[in-house]
Amino acid sequence: MQIFCIQNKFFNFPSNMSVETSKLLIKKLPCDMDELAQLIRECKLITPRSLSSYGSRRAVIEYADAGQARKALEELNGLNDILDKPLCVSPFGPRVAHDGSRANKCTQTKPPPSESTATAKKEIRKQLGLIDTIYVEGARPDPANDPEESLNEADITAPANAVPIKTKKSRKSKLLAMQPYTYAISVDFEATCWEKQAPPQWRESEIIEFPAVLVNLKTGKVEAEFHTYVMPLESPRLSNYCTELTGIQQKTVEAGVPLQTALNLFCEWLRNELRVRNLVLPKTNKSNILGNCAFVTWTDWDFGICLAKECTRKRIRKPACFNQWIDARAIYREWYKYRPCNFADALSHVDLAFEGRAHSGIDDAKNLGALICKMVRDGALFSITKDLTPYQQLNSGF
C-alpha cells in the first residue's frame, strides 16, 4: 500500500495497482545523459526507442512496448551489483488496476465514498482549504508548455546501437551530443612489404613508419601529431616495391629508431597530450572505464596483426593501451551501409578527397582523422570494436 500525504490528509494507493507502460523513470541519476547512453550501449541492454532528460537528475527511457520495458527494468536493476552508485528505476506511466480501470495521475485514487459522505467531505475540504487532487511523483507536465522537452517521434531515427536523446535539436545534433568520445587518436603504420610477397622467411612485416594524430571530434581539428621512422631489424633492406609504395627511402629507415624506442617515445608523447587535455583512454581509469579518447585504425591490421606479432617476435613488451581500439571501417560499413573497396573509395563515397601522398603513414593518419570527423558529423557513434583483453577490467600499466 502506497500512502501520500497532502496538507495532513492521507491518500492511499491500493496495492492491487500494477503498471503497464513502455516507459521507465530513472531518479537520482548518478551520471549524465551521455554516460547513461554509453552504459546501455556497452552493456548491450535492450535498445530503447528514446532517452530523454526529465528535470534535474532524472531521465525517461521509452521502449517499443510494455514487455520490453519490463525486461529492461530487470536488466537495469541487475546492473546495481556492478555500479558504484545504484540506479533508481521504476515504471513511468498511468496506474492500471486489475479490473482494467485506469487511475488518472491527477485524481484522487481513494475509492469514491457515498454521495452524502462525499458532499460532507467536499464542504470540509473547502473550509479547510484542502486540494482535491494529488500528483503522483513523476507525472509529466504538458509537453506543449515545455518546448525544450517536447517530443517529436518523426525526428528520432537512429542506428540499432544508438540511444537517441529527445531534444528540439536536429537528429545529427542529438547523436553528436551522445558521442562517447571527444577525441580520437588515428594511427596508420607503414611496414616492410614485397611485391607478390617474398619467400616465407622474409614475409614478416616490420613497422617502418609510426604516425599518430590526435583529433578533436567536436571541432574536427588535428591538435597534436606524433611521427617517427622505425629501423627494421629482421629485413633491414627495403624492397623496391616498398619504397615505391610508401615513398620511404632506405636512408630514412637507417636513420630511424628501433621499435622499442619508438614505443617509448610514443607513450611519453601520449601521456603528455592526454594529461594537458584531461583525456582518458579505455580501461585506464576505474571511475571511467570507457574513457573519452580512443585509438582509431582502418581495419584491425595495425594493432591486431602488425604491432602484436612484431612485439611477440622481438619479445617487446607492448603497452596495454594498444589492446583496445576502434576499427573505423567496421563503423563505416554499418553506418553508411556501404562496403568500400579501399580507403580512397571510402573517402570518395562521403565526398572527401585524399590529401597528401597515399601510403604515407602520416598522411593516411590525417585523412583517417578527417574521415572519422565526417562520420561523427553525419551522426555515427563510435565504440570500441576490438579488445584483446576482454575479461580484464583495467589495463595493467599504460
Instruction: Name the region of 359 (left: φ>0; alpha: ψ -120 to 50; beta: rest).
Output: left
| Distance (Å, whole) CA 97 – CA 95 | 7
Rounded (5°) CA angle 39-43-44: 115
Q: Which of 206, 209, 273, 359 is catalytic?
A: 359
SS3 92: coil
Q: Which of 75, 137, 190, 234 is catalytic?
A: 190
> By CB neighbour count within 10 A (0-12 exposed, 13-18 middle, 19+ buried), where does 208 fall?
buried
Interhelix angle for 328-336 vs 361-377, to 10°? 40
Active site residue 227: no
Q: Are strands 183-187 and 293-297 parallel, antiparallel or unpaired?
A: parallel
Residue 15 in grid coordinates: 496495492
Nearby residues of 58 by Cβ (< 8 Å), 6 or more positions away:
25, 26, 27, 28, 29
The residue written with cell numbers 599504460 in the block is: 398
Active site residue 190: yes
DSSP-based helix, strand, coil % in the chain, nearest 5? 35, 20, 45
Residue 204 in grid coordinates: 614478416
Where in the sequence numbering do the catalytic residues fall?
190, 359
